[in-house]
Amino acid sequence: MSGDIFINVIYWLVINNVVLMQFLGICPYLGVSKRTETASGMGMAVIFVMALANAITWLIDSFFLQKFNLVYLRTIVFILIIAALVQFVEIFLKKSMPGLYKSLGIYLPLITTNCAILGAAILSVQQKYDFLTGIIYATATGAGFLLAIFMFASVRERLERAAMPEMFKGIPIALITASILSMAFMGFAGLVKI
Amino acid sequence: MKNVFILTIISLVAGLCLSGVYIGTKDQIEISKKAAFNNSLKVVLPFMKDKYEDVPPVKYDMEEVPIYPVVENGVLQGAALQVIGKNGYAGNIKVLVGVDKNQTITGIQILEHKETPGLGTKSADEAWWGQFKGKSLDKFKFKVKKDGGDVDAITAATITSRSVTDAVQKGLVVYREYAGSFNKMGVSHE
Amino acid sequence: MSNGNTAWSTFADGIWKNSPTLTLLLGMCPMLATSSSVMNALGMGMAATFVLVMSNIFISALRNIIPKQMRIPCFIVVIATFVTIVDLVMAAYSPGLYKSLGIFIPLIVVNCIVLGRAEAFAYKNGIASSMLDGVGMGIGFTVGLFLMSTFREILGNGSFLNLPLFGPSFSPVLIMIMPPGAFMTLGFLIALKSYLDKRQKKGA
């Protein structure tokens, strides 16, 4: 596994992109992609929380849930951990890193219901990644989210001024843009072999 | 404090309910899993009468290949092998390959795949995998036509087809080795 | 809202006028991911409807006990419980569907429709109307999924509910069952819905 880390990162980042190929985190993807600044802020927040959440859920899963045969409680335990973690990160950032809080803070409450976070946490334990691989997986997946949302927002900024039929304004044209982006990302498929 | 208490109570009740449902469904989940697997076995081993031998997996090229041999009166009739097709479009593909005593393919089932929904599932269709039936290592090139072999790839899913084809070929090779050692030592349950 | 007439209208609104996916734009992830075949879409719709109805009923019943500051975690626990029940039951009795829906079953927990209805409706209304709201929203979600998967399966696979519709000479538009097709179909469906809504307004 360790030798293939680079290949895996490429795979998680673009080939199996979390938004465009796996459809995770669509709500924030469509919701906060009108401006590139907000999009990149959200993307950063997602990378940060995803890596942290993955580390904690992995520890709980292997030292508690699997040990006591409680794997069926995974969903409920993971989502509670993520909700609590987001609250905690918010308080912590506010007190000790006001600068970072200013740039990421407003996105944090939205992250609890970002299904990419929970999805990545569950997929990572389902795939039986070890602790380190899990964190790399989460970081790469989060970076994939940032990449996708940043490109998307850059296109949307320009689309606002474009002329189009009334009924396509807003979300419909955004989805069609996402479709074309997703098509472009499919081109990465042959890049590496897993 | 009272708020935390209420949340704790709700969580506890929820946990209790879930463990109830878990205990209630646990056996059924096992049964469903086994039934699904047995159905796959029946498809790939049409000649299997009632049971297969319970033997440990065969080691092949750093991999452990689970094998389900069918033995009648001490003679090996064939086996099903669970092989991994590497380099799929999205990860590995788990394939169950049935081989008879003439070392020809009797059936194929895709047990697990992460391919694009709809596309990858076509590989589970007999319309596609039927082309492997009755083929053996010496008379058939286990490569897709694009790579100079004899296998018709699924339209727009060459990577998936390639991966499954590799797995099928591996199944045949592993079976040949197993059959060789079987003829020397007979069935071994260790 | 306990009035029968308005309860009925919340129910009817959820199905088409306030269709969760086509107008309110909630629950897009499963909408995109599980609509590559009609079978998957219906399975997803049923699972989500069950969770919506049950969590709406329970949250409405517990609305006087659940403290205001702690309501979101409490909602999440209730919703996650029903999601896990669906997960286990599906694994036991419908393993094929369970396998193809995969990660999107546990992810019903973070489906904005369920949490959104808990917060916006069930926490403020009686049990009966909350249940109706859940059923309406659930059916609305399923209808959206059904429309989308019908388009995608017919165009992308040439079949409906796995029954082939055209002869062997038909070559399907494969892109429709791949991710880009999902985004595109949803975009066109939402555009169509907004067009119809506008025309209706003009006519009235």
Q: Dig out the tokens for C155 from the structure.
A: 């165009």
Taking alpha carbons only, the member of B53, B57, B75, B78 closest to residue B66 is: B57
Q: What is the pLDDT of residues C146-176, one digit of tens each?
A: 999 999 999 988 888 878 888 777 777 888 8
Which residue from C65, C78, C156 is facing B14, i.e. has the nearest CB?
Answer: C78
C84 touches chain B (CB under 8 A): yes
**A6, A8, A13, A17: CA torsion to nearest 10:** 170
- Look at B158 and C189; give whichever has higher pLDDT: C189
Least confident of A92-106, A173-187, C170-184: A92-106
Report A:79-138 residues touching B (Cβ under 8 A): 80
Sign of CA dihedral C113, A44, A12, C152: positive
Handedness of CA B131, B136, B139, B141 (dihedral sign): positive
- Residue-level pLDDT at B90: 64
Min Cα–Cα distance to chain A from B51, Å: 32
C65 contacts in chain B (CB < 8 Å)? 6
- Predicted confidence (pLDDT) per residue in C98-157, tens digit: 888 888 899 999 888 898 889 888 999 999 999 998 999 999 999 999 999 999 999 988
Yes or no: say if C63 and C74 are a contact pair by the CB < 8 Å rule: no
Nearest chain B alpha carbon to A71: B22
* Residues B20-26, mean pLDDT to the nearest whole number: 89
Which among C182, C192, C145, C183 has a CA at the least distance from the CA of C15?
C145
Per CB-CB distance under 8 Å, the chain A contacts of C186 are 175
- Per the prediction, chain B carries an average pLDDT of 82
Q: What is the pTM of this model?
A: 0.85
Q: Provide the mean pLDDT of chain C.
A: 87
Q: Which residues of chain C are within 8 Å of residue A74 when distances are taken between CB atoms?
A: 106
* Contact A186/C at CB under 8 A: yes
Residue B27 domain flag = no
Does B89 fall in a domain? Answer: yes
Domain coverage including residue B95 = 58-185
Mean pLDDT of chain A: 87
> Tens digit of pLDDT for each residue in C38-73?
998 999 999 999 999 999 999 999 999 888 888 888
Give a yes or no: residue B158 inside a domain.
Answer: yes
Question: Region B49-68: what's the mean pLDDT?
Answer: 81
Number of domains in chain B: 1
| Amino acid letter, residue B140 | F
B186 versus B132: the higher-pLDDT residue is B132
pLDDT at C4: 54
Task: Give the rounded percent of residues in chain A with a pLDDT score beyond 70.
Answer: 96
Range of the domain at C79: 3-203
**Residue C7 carries which side chain, given as an amino acid letter?**
A
Chain C closest CA to B124's CA: distance in Å?
13
Q: Which residues in chain C are closer than 8 Å to A118, comparing Cβ atoms?
A: 106-107, 109-110
- Angle between helix axes A36-60 and A131-159 (nearest 10 degrees) is 160
- Yes or no: say if A15 and A21 are a contact pair by the CB < 8 Å rule: yes
Contact (CB<8Å) A72/B22? yes
On chain C, the residues whose CB falls within 8 A of the CB of B123 are none
Number of domains in chain C: 1
Q: Does C89 touch chain B (CB under 8 A)?
A: yes
Name the DSSP class of B1: -
Phi and psi of B90, rounded to 5°?
-140, 70
* Secondary structure of residue C155 in the 3-state scheme: helix
Query: Is B45 inside any structural domain?
Result: no
Closest CA to A76 of C88, C109, C48: C109
**Contact status, residue B20 vs residue B12, Cβ threshold 8 Å:** no
Choose the closest CB to A194 out of B18, B22, B91: B91
Q: Count Cβ–Cβ pairs < 8 Å, chain A vs chain C.
A: 116
Concatenating the DSSP letter of every residue in A171-182 gives HHHHHHHHHHHH
Of the candidates B88, B97, B170, the one whose C-alpha atom is nearest the C-alpha of residue B121 is B88
| Sequence spans of domains, chain A | 37-143
Question: Do A33 and A149 touch, CB atoms closer than 8 A?
Answer: yes
Mind listing the pLDDT tens digit for each residue in B93-145?
Answer: 888 999 988 888 898 888 877 666 555 566 777 777 888 888 888 878 888 88
